[in-house]
Amino acid sequence: MKSTFFGLIAAFFAISAAGEAQARLSLPKAGVNPVRVVINNADASTVARLKASQDAINTARDTVGAYKKAGDKEATKAAVKDLRSKQRERDKFVRKTISGSDDLKAALQAEVKAARVAAAKKRATVRKDVGSRIAAAATADQQASLEANKTAIGGVIANLRAARKGGASKEDTQDLRKELAGLQKSQKQVVGEILKANETLSAALKSEAKGRAREARRSVKGQGKNRRNVRQRRAAKKS
């Protein structure tokens, strides 16, 4: 079921503009479908109301498509406005429903956590595949450099984690962070040399990266319509 408000949770609760103790649920924008969470876990009357709202949205979306196909710009503009209005009402209802139910909040949090784990595994798989292909295209000396840098980077990261766990401040770990940055730069240079000498591999990796970026953009298409959430995030950053 398509929607315009899926994604990572920016802030599960956002403080209201009036500064009151009330909170406004911020719906996830990718990888999780809050509508499905409500439909799968809410009572029958709530589910029926939400399904009716979704049916109205689907009808409005079809209307937009029909006007676009007919080339009627004014009618398309009005239809889009109607579609956005219906989507906002649906989002408002979903947000209010989840906010008022601990069970629904728990279900949403569980789906968000599962989506994050799945996304992390997917990124790790991509990194491993890319790394293997780059290593396979490298010379013996380049492979040795890659492996040495990888081992050194792992050691520094372990030391950083141990230092932070021990209560070290950012200033205390400055030398370790500089060392890590230097090793990462060295690794990047080696990878750059390998790709420069293997244009076919370089082109393939760039094409795949663009494809993943397109997929990511599609998954959050329309999230900019949720202007209130955008304003809240900006305000939170400034404060």
Q: What is the DSSP string of the chain?
A: ---S-BSS-S-SEEE-TT--S-EEE---BSS--HHHHHHHHS-HHHHHHHHHHHHHHHHHHHHHHHHHHHT-HHHHHHHHHHHHHHHHHHHHHHHHHHHT-HHHHHHHHHHHHHHHHHHHHHHHHHHHHHHHHHHHHS-HHHHHHHHHHHHHHHHHHHHHHHHHHTT--TTTTHHHHHHHHHHHHHHHHHHHHHHHH-HHHHHHHHHHHHHHHHHHHHHTTTGGG-HHHHHHHHHHHH-
What tokens appear for 197 in the block?
């000498």
pTM for the full model? 0.61
pLDDT in the model for residue 29? 58
pLDDT at 44: 95
DSSP letters spanning 2-58 = --S-BSS-S-SEEE-TT--S-EEE---BSS--HHHHHHHHS-HHHHHHHHHHHHHHH
pLDDT of residue 175: 94
- Rounded Cα gap, residues 24 and 150, in angstroms: 44
In this predicted structure, what is the pLDDT of residue 32?
82
Q: Per this entry, what is the length of the chain?
A: 239
pLDDT tens-place values along the chain, 239 residues long = 444 333 332 333 232 333 333 345 666 656 788 999 999 999 999 999 999 999 999 999 999 999 999 999 999 999 999 999 999 999 999 999 999 999 999 999 998 898 889 889 999 999 999 999 999 999 999 999 999 999 999 999 999 999 999 999 999 999 999 999 999 999 999 999 999 999 999 999 999 999 988 887 776 654 444 444 445 555 555 55
Exposed, middle or buried, 217 (CB in 10 Å: 0-12/13-18/19+)? exposed
Which sequence spans correspond to the domains of the chain? 1-126, 138-216
